[in-house]
């Protein structure tokens, strides 16, 4: 993972997603790193991923796998065969389930390709500490739980976790510097939050130690998406 800026392709279908990509392509033709989530994947399926890989884009397939280990292993094997670059699993599935995801990715990757990276989702940002303790019955604090899950993910051999850039320093302190922090919640200005509770700029994410930033609406809804992508890239790479 070479410090990418990943664009979250949160579109309802392939037509909408590709009309956005076409508007960028007219400026570049540059291969991008695209996050495909449940909405788009459940609608369009593997053929969308295959088509975008064919065009040279890297794919973060964010399906947040969470099931018994053998089912997750088989699912991961299928995703590896699609030659995606990065997938997600829920750390709440436990260490054995995360190991099974790795094993599935390793066995499912065609000989000529590299094994996709796998990162764990810890507590969803929609989960508050009160909800986690009272509804889910997890008595620890939220940050403590996130760190605990990150350490589990490391033990399972995953490459990193999805977290806020603000959590990246604590994750690295406890789970080690090599645990990658893939961080959404990125905005050009900290006041542009939409429904995100806590946001940081690309420059701040870099300073906090993020390894990859995930940017959705700031780029996909921008009046000049290509210019915004470039501006964010410059900040992220530390050239501004
Ligand atoms: O549009 P925005 O930049 O807020 O999109 C961020 C992307 O990252 C969305 O696809 C969202 O689902 C995802 N995400 C997030 N927070 C998490 C995990 C994923 O915002 N904790």
Confidence of residue 193 (pLDDT cuts 50, 70, 90): confident
Contacts of 8 (CB under 8 A, 6+ apart): 35, 37, 184, 214, 215, 216, 217, 220
d(CA 42, CA 25): 25
Write out pLDDT tens, residues 133-184.
Answer: 999 999 999 999 999 999 999 999 999 999 999 999 999 999 999 999 999 9
CA torsion, ordered 119, 124, 128, 129, to nearest 10 deg:
-30
Mutate-to-test residue for ligand 1 from 160, 171, 216, 236, highest number of ligand atoms within 8 A of CB? 216
CA 21-86-182 angle, 5° bins: 90
Give the distance (Å) from ligand 1 centre to CA of residue 8.
7
d(CA 200, CA 6): 15
Q: What is the pLDDT of residue 135?
A: 94
Write out pLDDT tens, residues 44-69.
Answer: 999 999 999 999 999 999 999 999 99
Give the distance (Å) from ligand 1 centre to CA of residue 178.
23
The whole-number average pLDDT for the span 209-220 is 97
φ and ψ at residue 130, rounded to 5 degrees: -60, -45
d(CA 84, CA 60): 7
Give the distance (Å) from ligand 1 centre to CA of residue 213.
10
Output the ligand 1 site: residues, CB below 6 A.
8, 10, 37, 124-125, 162, 184-185, 194, 196, 214-218
d(CA 180, CA 177): 8
Mutate-to-test residue for ligand 1 from 11, 161, 184, 199, highest number of ligand atoms within 8 A of CB? 184
Write out pLDDT tens, residues 195-213.
Answer: 777 789 999 999 999 999 9
The domains of the chain, with CATH numbers, are 5-237 (3.20.20.70)
d(CA 172, CA 170): 5
Q: Which of 55, 64, 130, 180 is catalytic?
A: 64
By the 8 A CB rule, do 36 and 233 touch? no
Give the distance (Å) from ligand 1 centre to CA of residue 127.
14
Contacts of 238 (CB under 8 A, 6+ apart): 203, 206
Say which DSSP state 167 is in. Answer: G
- Whether 53 is catalytic: no
**Residue nearest ligand 1's atom 5 by CA:** 216
Give the distance (Å) from ligand 1 centre to CA of residue 104.
26
| CA nearest to 41, candidates 69, 63, 74 | 63
The helix or strand, by DSSP H or E, that contains position 108, with its residue range, turns out to be helix 95-108
């Amino acid at each position: 993972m070479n410090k990418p800026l990943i664009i979250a392709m949160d579109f309802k279908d392939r037509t909408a997603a590709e009309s956005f990509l076409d508007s960028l392509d007219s400026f570049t033709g540059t291969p991008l790193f695209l996050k495909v989530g449940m909405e788009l994947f459940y609608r369009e399926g593997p053929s969308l991923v295959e088509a975008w890989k064919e065009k040279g884009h890297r794919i973060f397939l964010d399906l947040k796998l969470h099931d018994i280990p053998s089912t997750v292993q088989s699912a991961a094997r299928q995703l590896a065969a699609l030659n995606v670059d990065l997938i997600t699993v829920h750390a709440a599935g436990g260490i054995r389930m995360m190991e099974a995801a790795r094993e599935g990715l390793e066995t499912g990757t065609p000989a000529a390709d590299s094994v996709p990276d796998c990162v764990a989702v810890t507590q969803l940002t929609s989960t508050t500490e009160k909800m986690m303790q009272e509804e889910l019955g997890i008595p620890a604090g939220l940050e403590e739980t996130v760190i605990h899950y990150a350490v589990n993910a490391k033990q399972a051999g995953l490459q990193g976790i999805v977290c806020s850039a603000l959590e990246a320093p604590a994750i690295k302190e406890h789970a080690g510097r090599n645990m990658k922090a893939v961080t959404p919640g990125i905005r050009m200005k900290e006041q542009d939050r939409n429904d995100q509770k806590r946001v940081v700029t690309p420059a701040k994410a870099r300073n906090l130690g993020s390894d990859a930033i995930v940017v959705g609406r700031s780029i996909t809804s921008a009046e000049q998406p290509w210019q915004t992508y470039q501006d964010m890239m410059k900040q992220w790479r530390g050239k501004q």
